[in-house]
Amino acid sequence: MSTVRARVAGVTSHRLFWPLVVLVLLLVANAVYRPSFLSIELKNGHLYGSLVDIVRLSAPLILVALGMSLVIATGGIDLSVGAVAAVAGAVACLYISEQPDQNSLGVVLTAVALGFGVALVLGAWNGILVAGIGIQPIIATLILMVAGRGLAQLIAEGQIITINSGPYKVIGVGHLLTLPFAIVIALAVTVLVAVLTRRTALGMIIESVGGNAEASRLAGIRSRRITFLVYVVSAACAAIAGFMMTANVSSADGNAVGLWVELDAILAVVIGGTALAGGRFYLGGTVVGALLIQTLTTSVYAMNIDPQTSLLFKAVVVIVVCLIQAPAFRARFRRRRSAPVTPLEPVGTEKEQVPA
């Protein structure tokens, strides 16, 4: 019996147990509300269904959250990913809109390269402010979070840039090998980051910088370069996400693309088990967290929950998930349940001692 309890405790204490439980409960609730929710159909060689849509819509958040995981692992934070996504998407759409043949593959590749290059420059800017100058990450990235939105609006001249490019639209809603192309991109980037961080020493170096940057420096690790690198990688992931967001609607709105995606990315990282204090990071948990947030968003719209209360509903669910997976909260809850109740002695039962 004790062995079974130990195994159950080991499973329930895993960092992904409760997020997966909540994810399954959300899927079950959607299936009960709408029986066709779990159905997946193959039409014209392409997969369609609510589950496929959830994963496809999760792709930009997964990309942003992957970069955020590396930044948080170093003890930093990147609040500018939404603005970087908006700038990258605006640059790409602006270039395509000015070309006579918007369906040219060369034009689309050039536009993506330009947007990606601008995003790398913005990521390098964050890295210089944090690693080079020593500004607090939350302040350094907050600067670009505000200025980046203005830059995106400046690029678009305050207008919504609309395009009609088939090759560019493939990034957001196209298909490859029956799967949506956005899922393929997110999967490829996830595998690439996992291989670079878990099959090489890079992941351990990032975690050591987040654990103690000064000790890492004294051990021979160039912590400033690692910190600079993760902000550039975060911007690169945000740029790809920005291409997906703008390709979905074939337009670029500098004020709306990637709005508040940084907050969802931070929530996905935290739900996945990565501590904001830095150190260890878990890419698998980050992906699960992103899927959970997108499933929650889809559930809110599918169940016709009042839009005015949808954000509150999401906040309550996220808080519950974070609480039940927090070891300190679970330990305190267990102590309260297992605390013995001391019975009260009846009044007047004590015998008075008579002095001899």
Other CB atoms within 10 A of residue 74 CB = 28
Look at the chain and count its residues.
Answer: 356
50 φ, ψ to 5°? -65, -40
- CA dihedral of 59, 65, 69, 75, whole degrees rounded to 10: 170
Give the pLDDT band of residue 252 (cuts 50, 70, 90).
Answer: very high
- Distance from C-alpha of 98 to C-alpha of 120, rounded to nearest angstrom: 23
pLDDT at 220: 83
- Distance from C-alpha of 195 to C-alpha of 198, rounded to nearest angstrom: 5
pLDDT in tens, 21-35: 888 998 999 899 888
Helix axes 223-249, 181-198, angle to 10 degrees: 170
Other CB atoms within 10 A of residue 129 CB = 20
Closest-CA residue to 284 (of 292, 276, 9, 323)? 292
Cβ proximity of 257 and 242 under 8 Å = yes
Show the DSSP H helices in the chain as ranges. Answer: 2-12, 17-33, 50-73, 81-97, 105-127, 137-155, 166-173, 181-198, 202-211, 213-218, 223-249, 261-271, 283-302, 307-324, 327-338
Instruction: Write the DSSP assignment of 45-88 as a string of letters.
Output: TEEEEHHHHHHHHHHHHHHHHHHHHHHHHTT---TTHHHHHHHH
Other CB atoms within 10 A of residue 30 CB = 20
Mean pLDDT of the chain: 87
Domains of the chain in start order, with CATH, are 60-304 (1.10.3470)
pLDDT at 300: 83
pLDDT at 126: 96
pLDDT at 344: 53
Any residues with CB less than 8 A from the CB of 231 and at least 6 apart, and which? 71, 76, 78, 123, 124, 126, 127, 130, 131
pLDDT at 329: 74
Cβ proximity of 199 and 217 under 8 Å = no
pLDDT at 273: 85
102 φ, ψ to 5°? -75, -15
Give the pLDDT band of residue 340 (cuts 50, 70, 90).
Answer: low
Cβ proximity of 210 and 74 under 8 Å = yes
pLDDT at 355: 53
- Distance from C-alpha of 290 to C-alpha of 301, rounded to nearest angstrom: 17
Please state, for a pLDDT cut of 90, what percent of the chain lies above it.
58
- Distance from C-alpha of 150 to C-alpha of 279, rounded to nearest angstrom: 33
pLDDT in tens, 62-79: 999 999 999 999 999 999
Between the alpha carbon of residue 166 and those of residues 59, 96, 115, 250, the distances in Å are 20, 11, 18, 9
- Distance from C-alpha of 125 to C-alpha of 131, rounded to nearest angstrom: 10
The mean per-residue pLDDT over the stretch 306-333 comes to 73
pLDDT at 351: 47
pLDDT at 308: 67
- Mapping DSSP onto H, E and C, the string for 252-292 reads ECCCCCCCCHHHHHHHHHHHCCCCCCCCCCCHHHHHHHHHH
The mean per-residue pLDDT over the stretch 197-211 comes to 91
Whether 5 shows a pLDDT value over 90: the answer reads no
Give the pLDDT band of residue 337 (cuts 50, 70, 90).
Answer: low
pLDDT at 96: 95
Q: Identity (one letter) of the amino acid at 220? A: G
Between the alpha carbon of residue 106 and those of residues 57, 97, 165, 300, the distances in Å are 27, 14, 12, 40
pLDDT in tens, 140-199: 999 999 999 999 999 998 899 999 999 999 999 999 888 999 999 999 999 999 999 999
